[in-house]
Amino acid sequence: MKRIWLLFAQTVTVAVALLFVVSTLKPQWLDRRASVPTVVPVIESGSTSGDTTASAIYSFRDAAKAASPAVVSINTSKAADTQSQNTDPWFRFFFGDQGQGQPQAGLGSGVIVSEAGYILTNNHVIEEADQIEVVLNDGRKSRAQVIGTDPETDLAILRIQLTGLPVVTLGNSDALAIGDQVLAIGNPFGVGQTVTSGIVSALGRTQLGINTFENFIQTDAAINPGNSGGALVDIRGHLMGINTAIYSRSGGSMGIGFAIPTSTARSVMEAIVKEGKVTRGWIGVEPQDLTPELAESFSVPAGTGVIITGVLQNGPAAQAGIRPGDVVTQVGDKPVSSVAQLLSAVAALTPGTPATIDIARKDGKQRVQITPGKRNLPRQQQPGGR
């Protein structure tokens, strides 16, 4: 019995020693899975798979394939300025000798939104251009007609006369959330159509000093000069916004880009196509964001409402009985908590059609009826204006 036990102990010792040597020098011999190919699922854009147990390699090929054909390059040209400022020494100091009779060229992007040839782009892309050429992703080219512009949102509608046009699907930008993945498609620096990816960094960005009406989607997808007017799409290739501007100290992308939401672009486009222009409401007030101290004195929750600091004499607001010191909390069915929201809510009103405005005063809350007037463009945005 003792001899058998000794033999068993020696066998175990040798086995353990062999196991140690193999695990040190050839560990793959012990891993049976190494001989079986590992399958890593590729989750395409738009997949509804909920399997998160395995590592996934995300591809946006479907989104790019769906949206890219509808994104176009826009080349603009402007005739030479006959009233050259080259004789001004300060102009020559800052801009150099521009020469006489040199035409100006511009570059941007756009998005085909209708089989009838309508294209969404930025107003600043085609502003003051004498000729506009649209280049499709398939190589076709066409002169474009300006159907209408809206400088206050920096949007413009063009039209080309071609058939068989690819069209982007308009998405619901109101459903976007911070962290959603998006793609920016355009023609940066004229190198050709380019797709970059990122996420939604913020929503509802205002007070940037870019447009009168601001409600920007912020993204870290790379946007560079030439991307203006291009598409910001979700992982299904649906249009979420029109790329408009970047924050940059160098002129290139720094990971902070801004796009006009599709919800805004859709309403502007429908108005321009139908009437040739965008008509907005106006009530004649000077608003200011409500401070916590003022909110407490008017017995309204902090961050609710906008205080009126001035009322235009004989304007729609004055005729409705609104006076300085009133706190506007709602316009129609839209609650307002900032000047930007009040501006947008009033602009959405139909001129000449009565609407209701909820206000708070120290003596209580009231609902007044107001007939908005028609908002006029600032003088520098009127045709021929500065």
Residues with catalytic roles? 124, 154, 228
Token digits of residue 290: 């409500």
| Strand pairing report for 194-205 and 181-186 | antiparallel
DSSP string, 355-370: EEEEEEETTEEEEEEE
| Strand pairing report for 131-135 and 169-170 | unpaired
Cross-strand partners of 286: 310
Q: What are the phi and psi torsion angles at 156 (to 5°)? A: -145, 150
| DSSP run (H or E) holding 294 | helix 292-297
CA angle 349, 351, 352 (to 5 degrees): 120
Burial class (CB in 10 A: 0-12, 13-18, 19+), 225: middle
Token digits of residue 238: 């649906």
Rounded to whole angstroms, the Cα distance separating 366 from 310 reads 19
Rounded to whole angstroms, the Cα distance separating 208 from 202 reads 13
| Strand pairing report for 257-261 and 216-219 | antiparallel
